[in-house]
């Protein structure tokens, strides 16, 4: 993964747990500040080592680390100078999701080693969105869930998010919070990472 992923994790940890927690996590992972160069590519093993170290230092599960990192990802990308990319991806939630793959294609030109996921909006009604997520990497559904939470905050939307994993893809469902079906299959709340 690219160093910008590590920088995004740093942003989330410092914001929620403080600078000391980040420094300890970085040390335990065996990484250093040189592994935080945004455009540099690092082996996935390094990233997973960092996630495990954050989990241990902050006393939260791996899934909670992934979800928190995802939730803060949008905020991080905006503060790190990528706000124009976010703004150009869509003027509302539906446009944003529809254009995610196009945005990833443009990023692939500047980050050629990136292994980017795919998102397909398969259904959109005023109260419910259904999205197919595919990735060559396994086990990152909670990261994506967190990213969706961050995107919802960005667009000032209130929706519950759930997902179902199959062998080939993951189905995400986003339902308006006031919709009666919203409580079915929703993601369990975690620590309040929106501090």
pLDDT of residue 41: 84
Distance CA(105)–CA(111), nearest Å, equals 10
Q: What is the pLDDT of residue 191?
A: 42
pLDDT of residue 111: 75
Chain position carrying tokens 């179902």: 164
The two tokens of residue 48 are: 């997973």
Q: For residues 64 and 51, is the Cβ–Cβ distance under 8 A? A: no
What is residue 164's predicted lDDT score, i.e. its pLDDT? Answer: 98
**What are the CA-CA distances from residue 154 to residues 12, 90, 150, 193 (Å)?**
16, 11, 6, 15
Please report the pLDDT score of residue 193 as a whole number: 41
Residue 81 zone, left/alpha/beta (φ > 0; ψ -120 to 50; rest): left
Q: What pLDDT sits at residue 87?
A: 86
pLDDT of residue 179: 56
**Cα–Cα distance between 173 and 186 in angstroms, integer?**
9
pTM for the whole structure? 0.86
Q: What is the pLDDT of residue 33?
A: 86
Enumerate residue ranges in the chain where pLDDT < 70: 179-195
What dihedral angle (degrees, nearest 10) is formed by the CA atoms of 13, 15, 20, 23? 40
């Amino acid at each position: 993964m690219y160093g910008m992923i590590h920088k995004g994790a740093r942003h989330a940890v410092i914001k929620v747990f403080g600078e000391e927690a980040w420094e300890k996590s970085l040390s335990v992972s065996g990484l250093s500040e040189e592994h935080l160069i945004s455009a540099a590519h690092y082996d996935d093993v390094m990233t997973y080592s960092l996630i495990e170290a954050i989990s241990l230092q902050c006393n939260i599960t791996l899934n909670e680390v992934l979800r928190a990192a995802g939730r803060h990802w949008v905020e991080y990308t905006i503060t790190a100078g990528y706000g124009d990319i976010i703004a150009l991806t869509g003027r509302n939630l539906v446009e944003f999701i529809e254009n995610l793959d196009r945005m990833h294609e443009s990023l692939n030109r500047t980050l050629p080693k990136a292994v980017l996921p795919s998102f397909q909006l398969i259904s959109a009604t005023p109260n419910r969105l259904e999205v197919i997520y595919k990735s060559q990497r396994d086990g990152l559904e909670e990261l994506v869930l967190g990213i969706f939470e961050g995107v919802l905050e960005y667009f000032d939307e209130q929706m519950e998010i759930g997902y179902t994993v199959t062998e080939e893809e993951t189905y995400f469902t986003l339902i308006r919070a006031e919709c009666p079906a919203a409580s079915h299959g929703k993601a369990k709340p975690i620590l309040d990472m929106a501090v």
